[in-house]
Structure 1
């Protein structure tokens, strides 16, 4: 059989997931250099551990873009669980400077649900600023919001991690990156880094740029967008040098700093492992989040037309509310996050599923790659058979 071969294993009953993954790898629209990883745990058992494509192996790392946000939200959830943070306190209670220009009544809950109105800065960020969460936070504290805070939803693509990170720093004196490393990544041995050590740099495969089909190229050309629209501001296209998202994700500074909105680096094993740790199934260390915290962070906070993308957005407390969006086969209260190149990680507490998918080539049109719909459906079908 010609084409890209699938490496790895699946448990008995999950053969259809392997077949679906093989079809993804050999999709003729993706090209011969398509590479991806898929891992899933069900009720604590590793049932899917697959990879395939040029240069990629089970332990390869790639930029995971906005899947990084899941790690940032997990740290916030741990601090709420500890009683250190209150979701219904105003952000300005913890970070007074943020209260400028009518942002003083915005709560931490609303901030995490992408309702603050500060999706970017009027003159954009330099590449150096965009790699530095503290610099982003300092700029946005004094930024006038683009809509009345708390009244609408708009995806804070490049900045929500910095905003949440500054709240955490003001409360604890520590960064989210430090707390994630100490309480999550190291004790659970995860190949998902928010702040990539130089010792791991040799395992990283750069993200490859999108290779759109002719039909997709025509759609892109017909909808050029504007650098000064809300979407352009949110994706830093209004900067003196507009941000190329592939180039940014591949930058050393973004990876090394662990920029909290899209600077993480990991594997599918690492993504799935973090969400398994949230559930705790089969782990000696136990669950990171108790049932009450998990339920609260899975509760829908925002559902409506996204002022940045123009599409429907459904957010829980930070995490995407996946069952209400693209994945109706998942249980209500599932939490996770996707990344622009196509990655996706989530935990389904009702069906006890932890999932991680990672790919090397940037997916069209960005966000969770379309194949995740088919992979998740096959996985759930097998898990509930």
Structure 2
């Protein structure tokens, strides 16, 4: 447990219970805990908290799959513009994708993790994982691991490269360029898909959390081997198997910002992006119209995920956050968690936008368990303040 780690930051009137909940959690954590919590309600920042030695509210962390939320916000904007159409075949934008039985797949099914293209037979090198263009080229030639559209499975390391290639073919711009131009820069968000050198001093390297004896036993009992679908999806079968927690510690990954896992952010950046998605912020209209949020948040793939081997819920590019993580949220909440424990979402029905980061991996991966109590406290306060 922590020995006197102080919680810093501010909360708006009516959100004092959130600070108390965060402090209670921090008091139970390890001495080396570092984390941040931020939330907006109807475009107004109401929570901005952090804890940990040497940590401020502007420290930056690898947010792993929370990156997918930023990536697919770009796709949603392009659908809203009419540049992309969800029910067009992927080959309309990217003809080479049709090889090996993939020609009938639509953009909608791809976004819903139904492509069956979670990796390649031989796996990827570290340099390839950092480069979405190279990943897309390799994946275009790959035979899918299930018949596209029939089941779904989490495309953990590649979904952003696949959708990013469609963005590039349709616009002539990379997904990362459009995100910077249309989302990050206009709002001054500390959520980067491609971390500039000037922001490197704020980056805190990801550190693995050593499992307890019970957790280590559970990990050792995991049923998948090196050539299973799960291993392929997480590149554990490659000549140099991927060590997931090390990805953001590679400067090449941080610099290129691969759209599946390469984002670097603060909790302020995560929450600020989702606030801009659903609310007026700084005099700017919400980035997405209500109909667009509703379509991307609509349940598309729900049930048994053949990769992660458990119950999962996806909308289009986003996790269906209420079903996937936090059932107290309103229907249609959209967001994405990250492997080290980050969580970020927008709940249009309450006007809540939420962001959480932590430095050390939380067992067993994905949204850290504390998010449930923290998000619940913020949501309760948000409803009471309305």
Instruction: Say whether residues 1:177 and 2:214 are aligned partners.
Output: no
Q: CA distance change for structure 1 residues 222 and 134 in 2, over 3 Å: closer, same or farther?
A: same
1:225 corresponding residue in structure 2: 224
Would you say the 8 A contact 1:196–1:257 is kept in 2?
A: yes
Instruction: Say whether residues 1:4 and 2:5 are aligned partners.
Output: yes
Whole-angstrom distance in 2 between the partners of 1:162 and 1:282: 29
Would you say the 8 A contact 2:277–2:288 is kept in 1?
A: yes
Instruction: Say whether residues 1:60 and 2:33 are aligned partners.
Output: no
Corresponding residue pairs, total: 383
1:260 corresponding residue in structure 2: 259
1:87 corresponding residue in structure 2: 86
Whole-angstrom distance in 1 between the partners of 2:326 and 2:301: 17
Whole-angstrom distance in 2 between the partners of 1:15 and 1:139: 50
Any idea what the Cα deviations from partners look like across 1:134-187, whole Å, max 9, x if unmatched? Answer: 110001001000000011110000000000000000100100000000000000
Would you say the 8 A contact 1:40–1:353 is kept in 2?
A: yes
Any idea what the Cα deviations from partners look like across 1:325-384, whole Å, max 9, x if unmatched? Answer: 221111111100000000011111110001100001011111110111111111111112
Pairwise CA RMSD: 1.1
2:25 corresponding residue in structure 1: 24
Whole-angstrom distance in 2 between the partners of 1:320 and 1:288: 18
Alignment map for 1:122-271 (pairs within 5 Å)? 122-223=121-222, 225-271=224-270
Any idea what the Cα deviations from partners look like across 1:296-316, whole Å, max 9, x if unmatched? Answer: 111111012001111111100
2:283 corresponding residue in structure 1: 284
Would you say the 8 A contact 1:119–1:233 is kept in 2?
A: yes
2:14 corresponding residue in structure 1: 13
1:372 corresponding residue in structure 2: 371
Would you say the 8 A contact 2:279–2:351 is kept in 1?
A: no
1:359 corresponding residue in structure 2: 358
Whole-angstrom distance in 2 between the partners of 1:359 and 1:334: 22
1:40 corresponding residue in structure 2: 39
Q: Could you list the runs of 5+ residues in structure 2 that have no partner in the other structure? A: none
Would you say the 8 A contact 1:153–1:313 is kept in 2?
A: no
| 1:304 aligned counterpart, secondary structure | strand
| 1:21 aligned counterpart, secondary structure | helix
Whole-angstrom distance in 2 between the partners of 1:304 and 1:291: 26
Q: CA distance change for structure 1 residues 177 and 282 in 2, over 3 Å: closer, same or farther?
A: closer
Would you say the 8 A contact 1:277–1:283 is kept in 2?
A: no
Please say which of residues 308-317 and 210-219 is displaced more in the overlay: 210-219
Whole-angstrom distance in 2 between the partners of 1:162 and 1:376: 30
Give the TM-score, by structure 1 length: 0.98
Whole-angstrom distance in 2 between the partners of 1:269 and 1:347: 13
Any idea what the Cα deviations from partners look like across 1:10-53, whole Å, max 9, x if unmatched? Answer: 1122122112111222224xx21111000001122211100001
1:121 corresponding residue in structure 2: 120
Q: Could you list the runs of 5+ residues in structure 1 that have no partner in the other structure? A: none
Please say which of residues 240-249 and 69-78 is displaced more in the overlay: 240-249
Segments ≥4 residues shifted beyond 2 Å: 280-283
2:322 corresponding residue in structure 1: 323
| 1:384 aligned counterpart, secondary structure | helix
Please say which of residues 49-58 and 262-271 is displaced more in the overlay: 49-58
| 1:345 aligned counterpart, secondary structure | strand
Any idea what the Cα deviations from partners look like across 1:189-234, whole Å, max 9, x if unmatched? Answer: 1000001111111110001112211211111122263121111000
Whole-angstrom distance in 2 between the partners of 1:246 and 1:44: 32
What is the CA-CA distance between 1:282 and the residue it aligns to?
A: 4.2
What is the CA-CA distance between 1:248 and the residue it aligns to?
A: 1.6
